[in-house]
Amino acid sequence: MGEYQNFLVKADTERLLEVLQNIIENAIKYGSGKKIGISISKEEDCVLITVENTGEVLPAEELPHLFDSFYRGSNAGSQEGSGLGLYICRKLMHKMNGDVFLKQEENLFSVTVVVGMAN
């Protein structure tokens, strides 16, 4: 866990926890287990919560589909799942006027949740 400050955000607490739990579970389930990191930062009027993990690199053409309903990446293997986790995360964040983004660099995969700050 990286250094962080306390921020007051505009979000449904239970739904935000659901989103973060899903993303952390994915990092555990599909990552290599060597590294899982969580960082929190501020950008303009938003809080960025990033979960990153090491693991198998996905083909670039798969990345845009990871938020599609029932889509499972090629790294899913025999892991149980429905392919709805990230789809639901993005839907919930949009309902809270936030978003979720993915990024992959070499063997590091990161998911960033964008949450609006309270005024």
CATH of the domain at 46: 3.30.565.10
Report whether pLDDT(31) > 90.
no
pLDDT reading at 77 higher than 70: no
Task: Output the pTM of the full model.
Answer: 0.88
Residue 4 belongs to a domain: no
> Mean pLDDT across the stretch 100-106?
92
35 has a pLDDT exceeding 70: yes
Residue 78 lies in a domain: yes
Are 119 and 8 within 8 A, CB to CB? no
Question: How far apart are the C-alpha atoms of 30 and 92, rounded to whole Å?
Answer: 22
Determine, yes or no, domain membership for 6.
no
Tell me the C-alpha distance between 22 and 84, whole Å. Answer: 10
Q: What gap in Å lies between CA 93 and CA 13, rounded to an integer?
A: 11
pLDDT category of residue 102 using cuts at 50, 70 and 90: very high
In a domain, 5, yes or no: no
Residue range of the domain that includes 103: 13-116
How is residue 71 written in tokens? Answer: 């889509």
More confident residue, 94 or 73: 94
Sign of CA pseudo-dihedral 86, 51, 33, 105: positive
Q: What is the mean pLDDT of residues 44-53?
A: 95
